[in-house]
Structure 1
Amino acid sequence: MATLAVEHHPQALSVSFDDGSLIVELIDGRTISVPLSWFPSLSQASKSQLQDWELLGDGEGIHWPQLDEDLSVGGLLIGNRSRR
């Protein structure tokens, strides 16, 4: 019987957006898509603010300097929303 390895530290490769979603491509080939409405600071941001992101650590988090917003990839995978 084959056993799948569980990724304990999922890592982002890239970040993009469509009209209402944050889309994160992971280094293992998966793609996460979550509603922007889960994160008020992102849903109210301009396109240029959204595009100004950087990866934290080895891609375990995403940071938007202009918005002072940080999201963890692991949190996105389990469905965490903003608490603000």
Structure 2
Amino acid sequence: MPGTVILDENWEAFEPVSAECTSGQLVVSLANGMTLSTPLWWYPTLLRASETERNTIELSPSGVHWPLIDEDLSISGMLNGRRYPGAMPPAEAAE
């Protein structure tokens, strides 16, 4: 939902309750029942990480942390469609 604003009074509804990396997606379930799914290519560090590194995940009230690669993503950033500057789909990166 690009442009989503999370107000202080409803922040808890956007707290992550689970997260996983599939072969090509980051999937995060929120306390309000919403599921966020973003392509891994948005996050080159995660894309290059091993399966073990990608799936060693810690949740915080405002985001997701990967301790083995010291990577953090915020729920707010995911909701607003933020990706790493210069991140390109794999087909474009191969050109």
Q: Structure 1-normalised TM-score?
A: 0.83
Q: Which runs of 5+ in 1 are unaligned?
A: 1-5
Which residue in 2 is equivalent to 1:72?
A: 74
User: What secondary structure does 1:22 align onto?
Assistant: strand
Q: Which amino acid aligns with 1:55?
A: L
Give 1:19's match in structure 2, choosing from 16, 23, 27: 23
Whole-angstrom CA distance in 2 between matches of 1:7 and 1:69: 22
Question: Secondary structure at the residue paired with 1:13?
Answer: strand
SS at the partner of 1:16?
A: strand
Larger relative CO (CA 8 A, sep 6+): 1 or 2?
2
Give CA deviations for 1:10-65 in whole Å, capped at 9, x if unaligned: 21110012221000000100000000000000001111001111012x2x111111
Kept in 1: contact 2:17–2:30 (CA 8 A): yes
2:49 is equivalent to residue 50 of structure 1: no
Give me the whole-angstrom Cα distance separating, in 2, the residues matched to 1:29 and 1:63: 20
Letter paired with 1:22: L
One-letter amino acid of the counterpart of residue 54, structure 2: L
The number of residue pairs the alignment matches comes to: 77
In structure 2, list runs of 5 or more residues that go unmatched.
Answer: 87-95
Normalised by the length of structure 2, the TM-score is: 0.74
Q: Identical aligned pairs, as a percentage?
A: 40
